[in-house]
Amino acid sequence: MLVRLIYASRVASSVTRADVDAILACSQRNNARVGVTGALCFTGTMFLQCLEGGRQAVNEVYHRIAGDPRHRDPALLSFEEIVAREFGDWAMGYVGHTPDNRALFLKYCPHAEFDPYAMSAASVRALLAELLGVAQWRGK
Ligand SMILES: Cc1cc2nc3c(=O)[nH]c(=O)nc-3n(C[C@H](O)[C@H](O)[C@H](O)COP(=O)(O)O)c2cc1C
């Protein structure tokens, strides 16, 4: 059975762009092994991540991530059974928050600053779907 899990978290203060690159490299390696795909958004202060795959594999990866000291306050925004993957091409795709895509991040957000904690599950899913179409993805 396939599931999709989406969560938000706040970046630990010491985390640098190099740390995010290391997280991505590790994610791509591990996720490919267990059939998990998805996307990681990094805004500089927050993470928004989507994990897709078998229910047990997604649970295991999420619980490992949730205990990682490089972020805090992980909040589940959405967990659902799905018929098909949306991010099947990416062991872990990456999108940064740039001046170019700022409007897109805000499109689904009720606040002036991007705040995934304040967004509905439907808005988060719509944002990720739209980012999939237009953003610069890395880590195929
Ligand atoms: C925001 C964030 C997202 C992460 N995403 C993943 C992921 O998708 N897959 C993964 O295996 N590890 C991910 N990690 C890293 C895990 O927390 C953990 O460090 C890693 O899985 C350990 O792998 P290792 O045993 O191969 O060193 C993430 C960490 C953070 C902070």
DSSP string, 56-98: HHHHHHHHHHHT-TTEEEEEEEEEEE-SS-SSTT-SSEEEE--
Ligand 1 — pocket residues by CB below 6 A?
Answer: 23, 26-27, 30-31, 40, 47, 49, 61, 64-65, 68, 70-71, 92
pLDDT at 136: 52
> Of 61-70, 96-105, 131-140, which range is least confident?
131-140
3-state class (DSSP) for residue 29: helix
Please check whether residue 80 is in contact with residue 4, taking contact to mean a CB–CB distance below 8 angstroms: yes
Query: Which pLDDT band, with edges at 50, 70 and 90, does 134 fall under?
Result: low
Residues of the chain above pLDDT 70, percent: 95
Q: Which two tokens stand for residue 34?
A: 């267990």
What contacts 64, CB < 8 A, 6 or more positions away? none
Nearest CA to ligand 1 atom 1: 47
pTM attached to this predicted model: 0.93
CATH assignment of 2-134, among 1.20.140.10, 3.30.70.100, 3.10.20.90, 3.40.50.920: 3.30.70.100
Strands, sheet with 93-96, edge to edge from the N-terminal-most edge strand: 71-81, 2-11, 46-54, 37-42, 93-96
Nearest CA to ligand 1 atom 10: 27
Nearest CA to ligand 1 atom 7: 27
CA of 70 to the centre of ligand 1 (A): 10
For the segment 18-42, what is each residue's pLDDT rounded down to a tens digit? 999 999 999 999 999 999 999 999 9
What contacts 32, CB < 8 A, 6 or more positions away? 91
DSSP code at position 44:
S
Q: Pick 101 or 1 by higher pLDDT.
A: 1
3-state class (DSSP) for residue 48: strand
CA of 62 to the centre of ligand 1 (A): 9
Q: Which two tokens stand for residue 85?
A: 């993957």
φ, ψ at 126 (rounded to 5°): -65, -40
